[in-house]
Amino acid sequence: MDLGDLLARLWADYAAITPQAREIHRLLKDAGETIVNDHIALRTFAGERLGIDVVAAPFVAAGYRPAGVYRFAEKKLDARHYDPPDPALPKLFISELRVRDCSPALQAIVADLIDQVPANWRPFVTLGRPWFPVHIATVRRLRDESEYAAWLAAHGIRANHFTVQQNALRTLPTLESVVAFLQAHGFALNAAGGVIKGSPGQMLEQCSTIADTVNIRFTDGSYTVPGCYYEFARRYPDASGQLFGGFIEGSADKIFESTDRR
């Protein structure tokens, strides 16, 4: 699949279920800004059928290169980020749930979902669930143990957020000014670990909205669940003068909570 088409499909799918992203884009463009996308985040379940390597394969084939590796002990997640073949393109951050470290009940639910994935399934040919719609009670059972697993069961393989690179903004010169801008326009922000996560000393600061709620069709009807969110990132130069290109585990751990139920 052509990389430009793949990125465009990911954005179109994400924007269709994330009206806040479309509104933020409009507000920024009305202010004369040009939006640069810092990174895209994807979620999956660990394992041979759906793990990070499987989800990353179309991007790697198009020239993306594996970079940083991350671990989130409490949330039972592993992640990797990939650098793009062209610095004008967004980075990729893919995480996976370590299903083997979860309860037998969660493992059984996920195994059933994965068993439904067609043998010829290819990531991003279609976006969303590669399994049948689940029962809302299943999502709620997953949520009791892992918000991440519940979101993934409900939404499938799609971008859970895009990220505006604050460094490229002219009218909002700091992340604090971004926060004030978002709050002034009524957007709720993720305050877990502080509204601004990270620091100049860590060479990365991030903030994010709280996910929109969306109606999803389940086997027993349509229900409202957390959808996707929008992030802003400010990167600082490292000792070589280059902008820091990685991610901070402590900050990313809290960013994940942007899709938690409220």
Q: If pLDDT is split at 50, 70 and 90, which confidence band does 27 have? A: very high
What's the whole-number mean pLDDT along residues 223-246? Answer: 96
pTM over 0.95: yes
What percent of the chain has a predicted confidence (pLDDT) above 90? Answer: 97
pLDDT computed for residue 6 by the predictor: 96
**Domain tally, the chain:** 1
Tokens of 14: 């994400």
**CATH number of the domain bearing residue 211:** 3.10.180.50
What φ, ψ does residue 93 adopt, rounded to 5°? -120, 115
Any residues with CB less than 8 A from the CB of 225 and at least 6 apart, and which? 139, 150, 151, 154, 213, 214, 216, 261
Kindly tell me if the per-residue pLDDT of 64 is higher than 90: yes
Report the distance separating Cα 143 and Cα 122, nearest Å. 27
Q: How far apart are the first and last CA of the chain?
A: 37
pLDDT computed for residue 75 by the predictor: 98
Least reliable range by pLDDT among 107-111, 121-125, 214-218, 253-257? 121-125
pLDDT computed for residue 213 by the predictor: 95
Least reliable range by pLDDT among 2-11, 34-43, 118-127? 118-127
Mean pLDDT score of the chain, rounded to an integer?
97
Q: At how many degrees (to 10) do helices 104-115 and 147-155 cross?
A: 20
Any residues with CB less than 8 A from the CB of 125 and at least 6 apart, and which? 1
pLDDT computed for residue 96 by the predictor: 98
The total number of residues shown for the chain amounts to 262
Query: Which tens digit of pLDDT belongs to each residue from 146-196?
Result: 999 999 999 999 999 999 999 999 999 999 999 999 999 999 999 999 999
Q: If pLDDT is split at 50, 70 and 90, which confidence band does 1 have? A: confident
Q: Which domain holds residue 190?
A: 3-259
What's the whole-number mean pLDDT along residues 197-213? Answer: 97
What's the whole-number mean pLDDT along residues 2-15? Answer: 96
Q: Rounded to an integer, what is the distance from CA 237 to the centroid of its chain?
A: 24
Query: Which tens digit of pLDDT belongs to each residue from 107-118?
Result: 999 999 999 999
pLDDT computed for residue 180 by the predictor: 98
pLDDT computed for residue 145 by the predictor: 98
Kindly tell me if the per-residue pLDDT of 90 is higher than 80: yes
What's the whole-number mean pLDDT along residues 201-214? Answer: 97
